[in-house]
Every structure is written in C-alpha cells, then in structure tokens.
Amino acid sequence: MRIMGNNKVALVTGAGRGIGKSIALLLAENGYDVGVNYNNSEEGARKVCKNIDEMGAKSLCLQADIGKVNEINKMFEKFFTEFGHIDLMVNNAGISKFAPLLEVEEDFWDRITSVNWKGAYFCTQRAAQNMVKNNIKGLIINISSNHKGGCWPNASVYASNKAALTKFTKNAAMELAKYNIRVNAIAPGYTDVGWDKNDEVFKAESKIPLKRFASPVEIAHAIIYLASKEAGYITGECLNIDGGALLPVVPENNLN
C-alpha cells in the first residue's frame, strides 16, 4: 500500500476507455496518483478510478468536454484543489471521425478541431503554468497519430489536427525547456481498443508489416518510458508506434 501524498501526480484526458484507460491504470501501477478525465464515458471512468484506488494510489474522476476551454479551466480547478500540483499531463482525448473533403461541414470541422487540437493546446498551457509556478520538472505528452505523416481516405480534418498537434509538441518543447519541462508526443497506428474482430477496420491488419494491431497497453508503456529518468534528455520528439504501417512506399509493396 502506497502512502498517499508521496506519489507523483498525472492527469490523463479521455481516460474512461481505450488507450487513455490503459495509460491511467499503468501510471497508477508505476507510482502516480491520477486524474481521470472523461466526457461521456462516465461508467468506464468510474471503473478506472476504482481500480486505481484498489492499487493503493489516489484517483479523481473529472468530467469535462476538452473541446471547451471553460470546462478545461473548471477541470483543472478541481484537479489542483485535490492534488495541488501536476507532474505529468497526458493529452489523450480525441475524436476519430472521418468524412470526404467535399462533404465536410463547419460543425464537423469545429468539433474535431476543438477536441483534438484546441483542447490539447489549452490543457498543455494550464498544466505548464502550474509546473512553472511550483518549479516542477514536469512532462507533457500529446497523443498524436500516424495520420500525421500518412494519408488515409476521408481524413483531411483528423489528420491535419494530428499534424498540428505534433508540430505544437515541438514548439511547446522549445518554449518550456528553460523551465525544465519536457514535451513529447506519441503517434499510435492501428490500435485494438475493443473493436469487433469482424469490423471493417481489421481488413488492414494483413497490410501492416508486423501483421497485427497494437494493444492499448503497448501505447501506455511508451508513456512510462518517456516519464522515466532514462528518458530525461528527450524533448520535442514524436515516437511512432504503428507496427511499421507507414513503411511501405506504395500499397502494392509486398514486404514478404
């Protein structure tokens, strides 16, 4: 049983399910108290918090729509009231929706961009402000996507957001380095977050060089590495975790 108050503190957005859930649980296993943000996945977030508490760490469920800055502000107020400071910010929340360029409407563009790009920006800002105030050598990790470098159908909005998030990672790393705050990104590829194995998406599995999807916990382990002292000299970087999905030069390339 860990002694409450001696752990480092992390906030993970979109942690009620999928990759965010695995990140929150693995952080708790590795000595963090964790703020678990969710928007609609309340049941999942409550289970994550319960599991964290059972590990002997401390959790806090935080409902907030990351696409709205006023809700981000309220979330951080609750977080800091409970924990006082932050050591690690993981900007995981995102919307994965796709539409043909010629059919995208403003509401679609605004909603995806507000969560995937604006939300991560202002969560980074709020976390960094607290780190600077408390003289914490903190870490911010943005969950990007291999869409930042590849072109999939109907992904003009989603992919552009992930490319912006990845570039923002570098700018933020440069600005915050003088405060000993590191900023990095992780770019997952196809990740099995509990889809039905008969889903159309699994048709891509055979075309991935490693012939499988990632598991959410594999993405989470990258967070643990980047948060370790062994990674203390890494900042402004983006780690691709996609099984080599972007390696083939053309779709017809047979790597076998």
Q: What is the DSSP string of 16-33?
A: SSHHHHHHHHHHHHTTEE
pLDDT of residue 194: 80
pLDDT of residue 100: 96
pLDDT of residue 7: 84
- Measured between alpha carbons, how far is 4 from 219 in angstroms, rounded to an integer? 27
- How many residues make up the chain in this entry? 256
pLDDT of residue 1: 32
Smallest Cα–Cα separation from 76: which of 123, 32, 133? 123
Angle between helix 18-29 and helix 42-54 axes, rounded to 10 deg: 10
Name the residues annotated as catalytic: 158
Residue 11, beta-bridge partner list: 35, 89
pLDDT of residue 254: 59
pLDDT of residue 196: 75
Q: Where are the domains of the chain?
A: 8-241
Tell me which residues of the chain have a pLDDT lower than 50. 1-5
19, 188 Cβ separation under 8 angstroms: yes
Reduced to 3 states (helix: H, G, I; strand: E, B; else coil), residue 167 is helix
Query: What pTM value is reported for the model?
Result: 0.93
Scored b (16 or more CB within 10 A) or e, 99-112 reads beeeeeeeeeeeeb
Helices (H), 137-213: 156-176
Taking domain 8-241, whether its CATH number is 3.40.50.720 is answered by yes
CA 104 vs CA 101, 148, 228: distances in Å: 5, 19, 41
